[in-house]
Chain A
Amino acid sequence: MRSDPPTSTLPIFAVSGLTKVYRTGDVEVRALNGVDLALEAGEMAVMLGPSGSGKSTLLNIVGGLDRPTEGSVKFKGMELSGASDRQLTAYRRDHVGFVFQFYNLIPSLTAWENVALITEVAAKPMAPGDALALVGLESRMNHFPAQLSGGEQQRVAIARAIAKRPDVLLCDEPTGALDSATGIIVLEALARVNEETGATTAIITHNAGIRKIAHRVFTFLDGRIASSEINETRVKPSEVTW
């Protein structure tokens, strides 16, 4: 597997001095405390760190679900921190694909329809069938979520996330609810999608073993990025163990 990240001139994301403070009553929680980070187009990043270290908060801000207290997030040069609700909605719709720990599929729609839900409103989507084929679910297209296993549901979620050909794919603990064998299938799907669509991919995980599939690994601690390292040799997800 290729080990060097695809090179490009402009980073997809440029994050600087990002701080997020949650205030509940008198208690103040600094979820992010001055994070600087740049993600290159097409790269696959893995984010590690203990629970509560701020990974999800960062991903949510980068994905346009939340706003920072301080600092700046630029997507392809566009500032997200001051964007309106409407602008953030449009940003998520046009550029971002999300994958979550609990799949978040629409139970009343089949696999195919869950993907079509997104492609219907996307500018230059792939066919829902193609997206499902990419994650190996071409034979399960007409199944409802209730008729799919956890790993299959998560792959539908990935197909749904990538079907609009997003610029970025943000995954928050995508294997968190899965056993390791199923988790590997899901990671394979993610790696393949990253390879074939060139979407910048960020994966949050608790599982240090997964680090080896990334181009770069960021380790979080207390709202900061404690370290970032480039993987000289990436391995295929199927070779990962945990």
Chain B
Amino acid sequence: MIRLSMLDRKLVRDLARLWAQSLAVALVMACGVMTLILAMGATRALEDTRAAFYDRTRFGDVFATATRAPESLKAEIAAIDGVSAVETRIANPVIIEITGMAEPATGMLISIPDHGEPAVNRLYLRSGRLPEPGRTDEAAIIEAFAEAHGFRPGDSFDVLINGRKRHLSITGITLSPEYVYAIGPGDFVPDQKRFGVIHMHRTVLEGAYDMKGAFNSVSLTLARNADRKDVMARLDTILKPHGGTGAYDRTDHMSDAFLDTELTQLRAMAQVIPPIFLFISAFLVNMILSRLIALEREQIGLLKAVGYSNAAIAWHYSKLTLLISLVGVVIGAIAGTYLGQGMAALYGEFYSFPFLVFSQKPDLYVISMLVTFASALAGAANAITGAVRLPPAVAMRPPAPTGYHSIFSGTSEGFRLPFSQLTIMALRHLVRWPMRTALTTLGTALPVALLITSLFALDSIDHMIDTVWFRADRQDATLTFTAQASEDAIRDVSRLPGVLAAEPFRAEAATLRNGHRSRIVQIVGSDPDTDISRVLDQDFGAIKLPPAGLLLSERLAEHLDLAPGDQVEVELSDGQGRRVPVPLVGLTNSYVGLTANMSREALDRLSGQGVRISGARVIVDESRIGELYDAVKQTPAIASVALQGVSRKRFQEVIEENIGISITIYVSLAVIITFGVIYNSARIQLSERARELASLRVFGFTNAEVSKVLLTELGVMVVLAQPLGWLIGRGFSELVAKGFESDLFRIPLIINPPTYAVSSLVVLGGALVSALIVRRRIDRLDLIRVLKTRD
């Protein structure tokens, strides 16, 4: 058996006595450790995996598309200063037909060199092989799509390539750095079943699309110290005559941007959440230790009197702190590791990496432990210093009685507030230790804030769904033609089975300029009286498109530093090089992308090419949707189809699942903090006031009345914490929404009253339970023993 020193025996007994309070603190610490390990582990996993994968596959730095650029430009592009490698290719959207699946899937058909690997955006071969040169019916497909349909090398499927149905046989399953997060047209979240990426040899696609010696997509990697902006500008100059739609870099690359968003979120989690927990636990440690040392004042005096050194006493209380922290670290590490594996599994579902290791290097645990120990000791420092400073002679005398101030006046004469003496007791105690009261209130406000910050996503997403799918893009499907067509095409679309209404649109890539600022975007032209897909103003009302002029989304106008009434210089990417000033007539609300809208007629006038349409938005008879799907698969002129209704359902599904998980986690975290703060603060108050409260019982006050003193005090803090929590929660939410904002999408900051209410209710519930647990102790107060002891 180990022989413990007397001080260590005291330590063990103290811990045994304080187990409930210690556990409450340890759990708060555990939450900090858990979130730290989880967020930092996931950040690392994602960052490392991404870096390794991009490096290995030579993921491009800059991307651009054109309508048809001669292959001779490749050398010109390669010669741009700062470009280290170039890959040109043919990439087109296709409609994929899969037996047994009613709705058409869409895909990107991308060329790979006939011989050798691409210089940029290499494929990672999971199984099988790449198509053999010369074979026109072989293709490789990305893994997510293959898995969703159970495809293996040797299986086959049909694709509509440039209007001709082709039967392709799968030679290999691949991963692509461009489609780590593979998202189809019109989708908000990946739908692995409905979006596929197909790679075929360049010559095959040159033949299929009549693109001999030409390309329509280019990716390049940059040298280490290249001037990215300059490269992009030069690339634009080269491609503009060939329908270049503007170069973009990784920030605007859909797949990478989504990864970045995830990383931003994780980093924010690692930076914001663990400190909240560590701060609260430091405060709780301070509270517990201060009280313990106050209670043990005379023991400390005695220990010093008999010759224990200050260092021995400081170490004694530090050990207590460290032991509590250790319990927290262990629980947190186990939970963090467990949840981290769950998180990695979740990532595996959404991100297509060849490997995704949830990084569990020991340093992460060491860091978490050190940070937790440090914050706990910081919390304890004040109390321990107090114990060390106490001269033994003073320590052995009882402390002077606590002085109070006569606020919440109950003087015998004059004005009196309508408080009972019991209430005054509670209120004066609150004011007597303002710092503690403030910190306890803050500690209770933080879980409210945490809940609001996690729950507001539901409100915002509800609002987004409502705005995007029920106010703006109300079509069931969007059909995009392989090439722009005459207005007659809309009649053909209307005649497709199941189509109840069809609305034409024209989309043109264009450069918008204001002084030195410029941006390449799609200008979408619609009919002014459009009712299916509508443009929304900033109050979410439908805008009737004006006969002339341009409408820009707020963020785009901000980028270009434009306000309504200003002139925008518009240059269509049609190779003509005409720059036309167009007035900005209004700002629009858009959560997705940078949008530019105008009336179709105005766009036709601007192009000078007559009336052309790019596609149609349709409303479909639900009962005949299958027939429409079949027709679309058979219609050569339709290049791609976005199914808004299906996208919305998929989005809601994914969000519900993910948010369900995160809400469970956040509610648990909030409850743990609430419990840690309220339970400890109630226990400490009870310890400080046991004598007072027992006296009240002796004087004939009932248990309920006596509990009221303690509960009033807690109640005031908990109630004050609510508006504070709402405020902090709103601030946090704003930061989160801002953090998510990118050119691709943004999250509106919408917090509905029920979200405030639910957040408060969860915390109030947690507080109530903690208070009731402590109330049971009041019922068991030993009246007689209290009377015998001095304060």
Which residues does A use to contact B, with CB under 8 Å?
56, 60, 63, 65-66, 86, 89-94, 96, 98, 100, 102, 104, 106-110, 112-114, 116-118, 120-121, 128-129, 141-142, 144-147, 160, 172
Contacts and interface: CB of A to CB of B under 8 A. Distances in A.
Interface of B: 400-404, 406, 410-412, 420-422, 424-425, 428-429, 432, 691-692, 695-703, 705, 783-784, 787-791
Given A102-B787, A112-B411, A142-B411, A107 B402 contact: yes
Contacts, number: 100
Given A104-B691, A107-B692, A129-B412, A98 B699 contact: yes
B421 to A, nearest CB: 4
Contacts of B401: 107, 145-146
Given A93-B699, A96-B700, A104 B787 contact: yes
9 contacts: A93-B701, A102-B791, A104-B787, A107-B404, A108-B429, A117-B696, A120-B420, A128-B412, A160-B699
B13 to A, nearest CB: 18
A98 to B, nearest CB: 6
B784 A112 contact: no
Given A109-B424, A120-B421, A146 B403 contact: yes
B707 to A, nearest CB: 13
Contact of B699 (A66, A92, A144, A145): A92
Nearest to A110: B406
Contacts of A109: 404, 410, 421, 424-425, 428
Contacts of B697: 89
B410 A65 contact: no
Nearest to B420: A120
A113 B420 CA distance: 9
Nearest to A85: B703
Q: Which 6 A-B pairs have the closest CB atoms?
A: A93-B700, A92-B700, A117-B421, A108-B428, A104-B695, A146-B401
Contacts of B698: 63, 65, 92, 98, 104
Contacts of B404: 107-109, 144, 146
Given A90-B700, A120-B420, A121-B700, A106 B695 contact: yes
B422 A112 contact: no
B685 to A, nearest CB: 12
B785 to A, nearest CB: 11
A92 B697 CA distance: 9
A141 B412 contact: yes
Nearest to B426: A108
A89 B424 CA distance: 22
Nearest to B702: A89
A114 B697 CA distance: 14
A121 B701 contact: yes
Contacts of B703: 89
Given A104-B695, A108-B428, A110-B410, A65 B702 contact: no
B402 A172 contact: no
B234 to A, nearest CB: 77
Contact of B422 (A102, A104, A117, A145): A117
A48 to B, nearest CB: 19
Given A109-B424, A113-B424, 19 more contacts: A56-B784, A65-B698, A65-B784, A89-B697, A89-B701, A93-B700, A94-B700, A102-B787, A102-B790, A107-B404, A108-B424, A110-B411, A114-B421, A116-B410, A117-B421, A144-B403, A146-B402, A146-B404, A147-B403
A60 B703 CA distance: 18
Given A92-B698, A93-B701, A112 B790 contact: no
B694 to A, nearest CB: 8
A108 B410 contact: no
A142 B410 CA distance: 9
A127 B725 CA distance: 44
Contact of A113 (B421, B691, B699, B788): B421
A92 B411 CA distance: 26
A89 B784 contact: no
A56 B787 CA distance: 11
A60 B784 contact: yes
Nearest to A90: B700
A164 to B, nearest CB: 9
Nearest to A128: B412
A216 to B, nearest CB: 25
A91 B402 CA distance: 31
Contact of B406 (A91, A114, A117, A142): A142
A113 B787 contact: no
A112 B410 contact: yes
Contacts of A147: 403
Contact of A146 (B400, B425, B700, B790): B400
Q: Choose among B412, B703, B790 the residue with the greatest number of A CB atoms under 10 Å from its CB.
A: B412
Given A92-B698, A113-B424, A100 B787 contact: yes
Nearest to B400: A146
Nearest to B402: A107
Contacts of B425: 106, 108-109, 117
B700 A142 contact: no
A98 B702 CA distance: 16
A104 B421 CA distance: 15
Given A120-B420, A145-B401, A65 B411 contact: no
Contact of A65 (B403, B421, B701, B783): B783
A86 B697 CA distance: 11
A121 B702 CA distance: 11
A102 to B, nearest CB: 5
Q: Choose among A66, A90, A112 the residue with the greatest number of B CB atoms under 10 Å from its CB.
A: A112
Contacts of B422: 117
B775 to A, nearest CB: 15
Contact of B692 (A66, A106, A144): A106
Nearest to A64: B700
Nearest to A153: B401
Contacts of B432: 108
A141 B697 CA distance: 24
Contacts of A160: 699
Nearest to A113: B410
A103 B30 CA distance: 44
A94 B700 CA distance: 8
A117 B424 CA distance: 10
A238 B783 CA distance: 33
A18 to B, nearest CB: 16
Contacts of B791: 102
Nearest to B691: A104
B698 to A, nearest CB: 6
A145 B403 CA distance: 8
B787 A172 contact: yes
Contacts of A120: 420-421
Contacts of A145: 401
Q: Choose among B400, B404, B421, B787 the residue with the greatest number of A CB atoms under 10 Å from its CB.
A: B421
